[in-house]
Amino acid sequence: MKILIALLVLFTLINLPGPDARKIMDTVYKQDTSRDTTWDAKMDVYDKKGNARGKKFVFKKTGSLGNSKTLIRFTEPAEVRGVGLLSINQGGTADRQWMYTPAIQRVRRIAAQERRQRFLGTDFTNEDMAERVIDDFNYTVLSEGEMVDGRKTYKIEGRPVSPDKSQYAYVYLWVPVDLPYVVLGEMYDKQGQRQRIYKATSLEKISGIWVARQVEMSSPPDGTKTVLTVDQIRFNTGLKEDMFTQQALEKP
């Protein structure tokens, strides 16, 4: 009888549904409830010899998940001061991006084939700088329990819903069981080669929203990395819609 009960329990456990990847990622995306966000931040760009170049910028975002606008404006050093990137994300359509370069005093639309290019020499590509939404990928939980920086995580695979719109064939994401934030990510190209490694550290909850004070993006094929450090974060300051236009992009 005891053997029968044990077998029934084992059978029940085997057939219990596992964690739902879509629900996990939905929690990650929806935990940011802000109407608008402003960062003052810095990127330190390291070459393969370990030499670093610093770039300071201001990041602004308005709107809701899947219907947002972001503006990145560089303030230092002098050679990139005033350079801006405007990204518009609207559900059901491909992201649109424009870049303003003071040297030529012109706003230029970033073409689809340019989305895989490095953004201003950093390890982030133009695609990486645009906001992703949950519907961009199909998700599967690969494992549960892997430790990342002392936290038990879910390892999740994401594959683009529209493969032709992404430089990545698939991504691996690690999300802590007890915290709705992607703390580690690996991005792979169409040939199955790992192109990027993303790591978020110095996690902090501000106004009820989890943020990473530091993000590292590295490029294994090139031996380079970029470390993004956020100094100041402000939520819900009332950013105006007219700040996120091509006309405003030309006026640093």
pLDDT in tens, 150-179: 999 999 999 999 998 899 999 999 999 999
In-domain check, residue 230: yes
Q: What is the pLDDT of residues 36-92, one digit of tens each?
A: 999 999 999 999 999 999 999 999 999 987 789 999 999 999 999 999 999 998 766
Domain extent for 185: 19-249
CATH of the domain at 153: 2.50.20.10
Of 160, 176, 177, 157, nearest to 168 by C-alpha is 160
CA–CA distance, 234 with 230 (Å, rounded to integer): 11
Tokens of 183: 């703390």
In-domain check, residue 174: yes
Mean pLDDT confidence for 24-34: 95
What is the tally of structural domains in the chain?
1
Q: pTM for the whole thing?
A: 0.89
Mean pLDDT confidence for 88-117: 87
**pLDDT for residue 66:** 75
In-domain check, residue 182: yes
Percent of the chain at pLDDT > 90 equals 79
